[in-house]
A and B are shown apart, each in its own frame.
Chain A
Amino acid sequence: MSDEAVQTNSQSVIRATGVTRTYGHGDTAVEALRGVDLELVAGEFVAVMGPSGSGKSTLMHILAGIDRPTDGEVWIRDREITSLNDKELTLLRRTAVGFVFQFFNLLPMLTAEENMDLPHEIAGTKPDPEWRKLLVDATGLGSRLSHRPAELSGGQQQRVAIARALLTRPDVVFADEPTGNLDSRTGQEILQLLRRSVDEFGQTIVMVTHDPFAASIADRVVFLQDGLVVRDGGRMDGSEIFDVMKGLE
């Protein structure tokens, strides 16, 4: 890790320092994050793991700019995002961040293609046609583009969601349990798709998961426990991760 941290700051996509997050006040206050430092460089595929309540989802929300830390700073590229107002954050999300959700979250009345283009639609921009074609091919959605979500399988829906996330070429894609609602074979396909987007397109991905085998596809696995990073290392295989997790619970 230290080797990577030494590398130049210009390649740093996300940098969080001293991030804490407390919910509620007084006796009922819950400290979800208690001081997290984390830096991600371009092209990195990071899995964030931890038992329930470890703060992994909170961390992801804060890094993505949809929740605010109680204390600490978060940088996306060269912008400090915790001081941005709602409007600035919204505009930042359009260009800098992509999301992949556990429950796909596609709009049911739009076709696969329209769902894919939605972020561009919202931003009032046009997707790069070549890039779009490349993504359609990569996700294998070519024949499904005019279908509505209800006519697609879970895996297909998630592939639409991934294409949607990648189409704006964001600095970082956050994936929240992307395989959590899929069977293992389909899940594997989705993970491969994410892997390819890192390897072939140089996409930076942060994936929150509690599935050791999903995490094993990442270049780096960060373990959280009780709101603190307890382990941060390179690629691990499934059983290794499983053992670490067992130790944490």
Chain B
Amino acid sequence: MLKIAIRNILARKLRFFMTAIAIVLGTAMISGTYVLTDQINGAFDDIFQQANTGTDVIVSKKMAFDSQTGAQSEPIAADVVERIQHVPGVDQIEGSVSGTGSLVVDGKSVTSLGGAPALLVSDSGNKQFNALTYVKGARPSTAGQIAVDQGSASKNHLIVGQRVKVATRTGLHPATLTGVFKFAGASSLGGTLITVTTLGDAQKWLNMEGQITQVAVSAQSGTSADALRDRIRDTLDSPQYLVETGQQNADRQAEDIQSGLSIIRNTLFVFAAIAILVGGFVIFNVFSITIAQRVREMAMLRTIGARRSQIMRRVVIEALIIGLVASIIGIFVGVLLAMGLKAMLDAFDIGLPSAGISIHAKTVIVPLAVGIVATLLAALIPAIRATHIAPVAALREGAVIPRSRLHRYTPWIGLGALVIGLVITLVGVNSDGTVTRVLGTVGVGLLLVLFGMGAVMRLLIRPLATAIGAPISAIFGQRARLGRQNAARDTTRTASTAAALMIGIGLVVFVAVFTDGIKTSFFDAIDRTIQADQIIMDNSFQPLPAGAVQTARDTPGIASVLGVGTVETRIDGRNTSLSAIDPGQASEIVRFDWRDGGSDALLSKLTGDGALVEQGYATDHGISIGDHLTLHSIYGSSAGVNVVGIYHDPQIFTGVTIGDGVYRRLTDQPDVSLVLAKMKPGADLDATTAALKKSFQESYPTGVVRTRAEYRDFISGQLNQILGIFYVLLALSIIISLVGVIITLLLAVYERTREIGMMRAVGATRGQIRSMITFESVITAIIGAIVGLVLGLILGYVMIKGLESQGLSFSVPVGTLITVLVMAVLAGLLAAIIPARRAAKLQPLEALHYE
């Protein structure tokens, strides 16, 4: 049976290739993701290890809890160095400073790629702790000198000797570039701008005079890192210090990178799973058709004594071979893809430090298992059906496999699954569990919905084919009608072909609806809540110094300015979004949607220890007016507040809003993450915005000034970028489903050889045959698209209704829907090219001889 299976595959290479392509793409995505993320992880591991080679113990400020946003380390008093120096076993010691600082070159801001913060780091030149190797020039040795990483230098054409400015929280500082370095052997840390300067300059520029952020210590020979760490910990004897070995520090940093990457990894895996699900529909279809075509052959095997189990084994072996070969090809393709992507990143100078490609066991095992299991599952039902072929079929012309007993009920089972799936999705959306649990529930729900829809689809084919085909037939006449009738002749087959397309298109529409909901609700919220004319933010989403508010206020044409600050905060152990505002300015610029009888008069209570709580947060945690809350900041400080008012705002000021007095108790650096400016009545928008831009260019060049309209465009652009990535990833599943349409049509042409030959014999031209197949393809594609559209809209609606309390609102993305329909027609035309050509090539004679 193995031999027959292999012969079968070899005899139909095109079919095999097309069947395999779905699995190849899906498994390639899995293995490629593994290789790429492993490579990046490995590279950062290496870098952190190498950076800490000579460092046995590292002392830094201990954060009160794990940061959600990667907050910068806080400074500690520099005299801690002297205290550690006297600990027995200490060989060398160095205090250093790191913070956020970018460059201004020829009036233009130079910073990290992709919105990552730019780093400003001190370098004493001590070789023991130094991870920097200078490839050009030398390290900064006196005040006013800096060096930058090689990647940033080459990307921005910086040369040694160049005069630049360093932009930090204390303003702009002129400096001379004296050197270009590699960090721990890497030319770039994923596009991060690293500027190095002397300790003195770093402290001055970062407003940390007399302070450091980290102490590196090396042990004398004979003293172990662990022992030294314990001794230093005992000497310092304060919970405000984090004392760890160099190894622990490297591991911790690597872990941070890893958890960031795992989000990307899981996202890619979700799309790989979608691609494989779509591929499953295609494989199911191909196997069903080929078995239907081989009825006589299978029946003949039965007549010469093959048992049902042997027939089944034969189909399963074929599926196994396809799954195995396709997965292996997929793994290779994935590795190549990862290498290609890496080379592309390198070419764009956002080169990640290169570690060699390492292929772990999971890189091979996971895609292999997924690919084989998916193929087997998809082929299982056709394989079982094959066993129902009666031996007598061998003697009959046009024998067909008897319908399975379940066949009649599948649409109803599907409908059940569809409804249950929708309910599960709804429950998932509304549940309060962890993100993973919510996503897991929603995922299971969506999966049921998709499968259910696939099964229900069969009942929709005839009516849809008629509805779609009627106008087309009216325009194009009889060839279109034949195409339509062909599309509706085997509803099960057309259903699973269209279902594959439905999944991709449904998800595209779903994502579009969802993003649209987020966008419109966010814009609504801005329009409702924020009365500012200009909105100013840091270009890498870092906080701006509080002085930025004064800079805006001093600009001509500006009437009032409100800075919104935030610090990572917990209340009763819950991470809570916190907004700090100046109560005196707030009523001018922010319009609160008061609840429980509140009014703007409440804002004055924020000058004391009053706090305002967002309605949703208050309801979720049982908070009401008069309650006392204790805020704990990530820096270990805390402040007690009294709840004085409740407002509704699920979009912008979520969580808790406090006054700047309380804010100063929580953090030493009351920075602002958002500066909202309002113009004097009658001031000119363009002129005032230009004036603001000029002010910020001079004082805080990382602050980007946007008008309301520009801010909307900016947010829109950010969301569209994410949407674009999702579309590209979903395009993969749509391509797989198109391959499904192609292969189904090819098999149909093969199956209908005699029919097509008869039509040619009675006078159909090649053109007529070609357009008949093309119409069949287009109608199938439109069916898939329409069902996908409706499904996507329903899912989007359910999701958004579930998130209504978050302020999301449902709207139909008409533009996207039209685009999707047009694309479906084009896709149908494209998919028909090969099958239609093949059908047109059939000679009437061949058709008659064909048996």
Q: Which of B768, B845, B848 is within 8 Å of A122, CB to CB?
A: B768
**Alpha-carbon separation in the docked complex, A110 to B483 (Å):** 12
A99 within 8 A of B: yes
Q: Kindly identify, within residues 744 to 769 of chain B, every residue whose CB is under 8 Å from any CB belonging to chain A.
A: 754-755, 758-766, 768
Instruction: Name which residue of chain A comes closest to B481, CB basis.
Output: A121
**Alpha-carbon separation in the docked complex, A61 to B848 (Å):** 10
Establish whether residues B762 and A122, one from each chain, have CB atoms under 8 Å apart when the complex forms: yes
Which among A86, A91, A164 has the highest number of chain B CB atoms within 10 Å? A86
B82 within 8 A of A: no
B755: chain A residues within 8 A (beta carbon): 105, 107
Instruction: Name which residue of chain A comes closest to B843, CB basis.
Output: A66
Establish whether residues B761 and A66, one from each chain, have CB atoms under 8 Å apart when the complex forms: yes
B398: chain A residues within 8 A (beta carbon): 103
A87: chain B residues within 8 A (beta carbon): 765-766
Q: Which of B489, B762, B843 is within 8 Å of A109, CB to CB?
A: B489
- Expressed in whole angstroms, the minimum distance between the Cβ of B771 and any Cβ of chain A is 12
Instruction: Name which residue of chain B comes closest to A176, CB basis.
Output: B848
**Alpha-carbon separation in the docked complex, A3 to B70 (Å):** 107
A107: chain B residues within 8 A (beta carbon): 485, 755, 759
Given A99-B758, A101-B758; A109-B768 close (CB under 8 Å) = no
**Alpha-carbon separation in the docked complex, A98 to B758 (Å):** 11
**Could you give, for residues 707-738 of chain B, a 1 whenever the CB lies within 8 Å of some chain A CB and a 0 otherwise?**
00000000000000000000000000000000
B206 within 8 A of A: no
B765: chain A residues within 8 A (beta carbon): 87, 90-91
Establish whether residues A164 and B397, one from each chain, have CB atoms under 8 Å apart when the complex forms: no
Which among B761, B763, B768 has the highest number of chain A CB atoms within 10 Å? B763
Q: Which of A94, A105, A109 is within 8 Å of B763, CB to CB?
A: A94
**Alpha-carbon separation in the docked complex, A61 to B845 (Å):** 7
B174: chain A residues within 8 A (beta carbon): none
Establish whether residues B486 and A105, one from each chain, have CB atoms under 8 Å apart when the complex forms: no
A118 within 8 A of B: yes
B762: chain A residues within 8 A (beta carbon): 93-94, 98-99, 118-119, 122, 164
Q: Which of B485, B754, B760, B844 is within 8 Å of A110, CB to CB?
A: B485
B754: chain A residues within 8 A (beta carbon): 103, 105
B844: chain A residues within 8 A (beta carbon): 66, 93
Q: Kindly identify, within residues 800 to 851 of chain B, every residue whose CB is under 8 Å from any CB belonging to chain A.
A: 843-845, 848
Q: Kindly identify, within residues 437 to 482 of chain B, every residue whose CB is under 8 Å from any CB belonging to chain A.
A: 477-478
Establish whether residues B758 and A124, one from each chain, have CB atoms under 8 Å apart when the complex forms: no
Q: Kindly identify, within residues 378 to 413 of chain B, every residue whose CB is under 8 Å from any CB belonging to chain A.
A: 397-398
A66: chain B residues within 8 A (beta carbon): 760-761, 843-845, 848
Establish whether residues A108 and B478, one from each chain, have CB atoms under 8 Å apart when the complex forms: no
Instruction: Name which residue of chain B comes closest to A122, CB basis.
Output: B764
A139 within 8 A of B: no
B488 within 8 A of A: yes
- The total of Cβ contacts below 8 Å across the A-B interface reads 65
* Chain B interface size, under 10 / 10 to 19 / 20 to 34 / 35 or more: 20 to 34
Instruction: Name which residue of chain B comes closest to A58, CB basis.
Output: B845
B768: chain A residues within 8 A (beta carbon): 122
A138 within 8 A of B: no
**Could you give, for residues 20-62 of chain A, a 1 whenever the CB lies within 8 Å of some chain B CB and a 0 otherwise?**
0000000000000000000000000000000000000000010
Instruction: Name which residue of chain B comes closest to A60, CB basis.
Output: B848
A90: chain B residues within 8 A (beta carbon): 760, 763-766
**Alpha-carbon separation in the docked complex, A93 to B766 (Å):** 13
Q: Which of B397, B477, B763, B843 is within 8 Å of A119, CB to CB?
A: B763
Establish whether residues B763 and A122, one from each chain, have CB atoms under 8 Å apart when the complex forms: yes
A124: chain B residues within 8 A (beta carbon): 477-478
A123 within 8 A of B: yes
A122: chain B residues within 8 A (beta carbon): 478, 759, 762-764, 768
Establish whether residues A103 and B397, one from each chain, have CB atoms under 8 Å apart when the complex forms: yes
**Alpha-carbon separation in the docked complex, A98 to B763 (Å):** 9
Establish whether residues B763 and A181, one from each chain, have CB atoms under 8 Å apart when the complex forms: no
**Alpha-carbon separation in the docked complex, A119 to B766 (Å):** 14
A67 within 8 A of B: yes
Which among B485, B760, B848 has the highest number of chain A CB atoms within 10 Å? B848
Establish whether residues A109 and B766, one from each chain, have CB atoms under 8 Å apart when the complex forms: no
Given A103-B754, A105-B754, A108-B489; A86-B766 close (CB under 8 Å) = yes
Establish whether residues A109 and B486, one from each chain, have CB atoms under 8 Å apart when the complex forms: yes
Instruction: Name which residue of chain A comes closest to B766, CB basis.
Output: A86
B764: chain A residues within 8 A (beta carbon): 90, 122
- Expressed in whole angstroms, the minimum distance between the Cβ of A64 and any Cβ of chain B is 8
**Alpha-carbon separation in the docked complex, A93 to B763 (Å):** 5
**Alpha-carbon separation in the docked complex, A37 to B309 (Å):** 57
**Alpha-carbon separation in the docked complex, A101 to B760 (Å):** 14
**Could you give, for residues 95-131 of chain A, a 1 whenever the CB lies within 8 Å of some chain B CB and a 0 otherwise?**
1001101010101111000000011011110000000
**Alpha-carbon separation in the docked complex, A124 to B485 (Å):** 18
Instruction: Name which residue of chain B comes closest to A148, CB basis.
Output: B489
B478: chain A residues within 8 A (beta carbon): 121-122, 124
**Alpha-carbon separation in the docked complex, A90 to B762 (Å):** 8
**Alpha-carbon separation in the docked complex, A87 to B766 (Å):** 8
**Could you give, for residues 180-192 of chain A, a 1 whenever the CB lies within 8 Å of some chain B CB and a 0 otherwise?**
0100000000000
- Expressed in whole angstroms, the minimum distance between the Cβ of B481 and any Cβ of chain A is 8
**Alpha-carbon separation in the docked complex, A94 to B763 (Å):** 4
**Alpha-carbon separation in the docked complex, A98 to B397 (Å):** 23
Establish whether residues A181 and B397, one from each chain, have CB atoms under 8 Å apart when the complex forms: yes
**Alpha-carbon separation in the docked complex, A123 to B398 (Å):** 28
A61: chain B residues within 8 A (beta carbon): 845, 848
**Alpha-carbon separation in the docked complex, A95 to B488 (Å):** 30
- Expressed in whole angstroms, the minimum distance between the Cβ of B271 and any Cβ of chain A is 38
B759: chain A residues within 8 A (beta carbon): 107, 118, 122
**Alpha-carbon separation in the docked complex, A122 to B488 (Å):** 20
Instruction: Name which residue of chain B comes closest to A108, CB basis.
Output: B489
Establish whether residues A109 and B488, one from each chain, have CB atoms under 8 Å apart when the complex forms: yes
Establish whether residues A91 and B485, one from each chain, have CB atoms under 8 Å apart when the complex forms: no
- Expressed in whole angstroms, the minimum distance between the Cβ of A79 and any Cβ of chain B is 15
Which among A94, A109, A123, A124 has the highest number of chain B CB atoms within 10 Å? A109
A121: chain B residues within 8 A (beta carbon): 478
- Expressed in whole angstroms, the minimum distance between the Cβ of B763 and any Cβ of chain A is 3
**Alpha-carbon separation in the docked complex, A90 to B485 (Å):** 23
B766: chain A residues within 8 A (beta carbon): 86-87, 90
B848: chain A residues within 8 A (beta carbon): 61, 66, 101, 176
Which among A64, A87, A103, A122 has the highest number of chain B CB atoms within 10 Å? A122
- Expressed in whole angstroms, the minimum distance between the Cβ of B320 and any Cβ of chain A is 34
**Alpha-carbon separation in the docked complex, A132 to B768 (Å):** 24
**Could you give, for residues 160-196 of chain A, a 1 whenever the CB lies within 8 Å of some chain B CB and a 0 otherwise?**
0000100000000000100001000000000000000
- Expressed in whole angstroms, the minimum distance between the Cβ of B230 and any Cβ of chain A is 83
A108: chain B residues within 8 A (beta carbon): 489
Q: Which of A91, A93, A103 is within 8 Å of B761, CB to CB?
A: A93
Instruction: Name which residue of chain B comes closest to A96, CB basis.
Output: B763
**Alpha-carbon separation in the docked complex, A90 to B763 (Å):** 5
**Alpha-carbon separation in the docked complex, A94 to B477 (Å):** 18
**Alpha-carbon separation in the docked complex, A66 to B762 (Å):** 10
**Alpha-carbon separation in the docked complex, A204 to B759 (Å):** 21
**Alpha-carbon separation in the docked complex, A124 to B476 (Å):** 12
- Expressed in whole angstroms, the minimum distance between the Cβ of A40 and any Cβ of chain B is 19
- Expressed in whole angstroms, the minimum distance between the Cβ of B338 and any Cβ of chain A is 48
**Alpha-carbon separation in the docked complex, A138 to B755 (Å):** 26
**Alpha-carbon separation in the docked complex, A106 to B768 (Å):** 18
- Expressed in whole angstroms, the minimum distance between the Cβ of A152 and any Cβ of chain B is 13
**Alpha-carbon separation in the docked complex, A199 to B667 (Å):** 109
Cross-chain pairs A/B with CB under 8 angstroms, 10 sampled: A66-B761, A86-B766, A90-B766, A99-B758, A99-B761, A110-B485, A122-B478, A164-B762, A176-B848, A181-B397
The chain B residues found within 8 Å of chain A, CB to CB, are 397-398, 477-478, 485-486, 488-489, 754-755, 758-766, 768, 843-845, 848
Query: Nearest 7 pairs between A and B by C-beta?
Result: A94-B763, A109-B489, A105-B758, A66-B844, A119-B762, A109-B485, A122-B764
Apart from A66-B843, A108-B489, A124-B477, 13 more pairs, CB < 8 Å: A66-B761, A67-B845, A87-B765, A90-B763, A95-B763, A99-B761, A99-B762, A101-B758, A105-B754, A107-B755, A109-B485, A122-B764, A181-B397
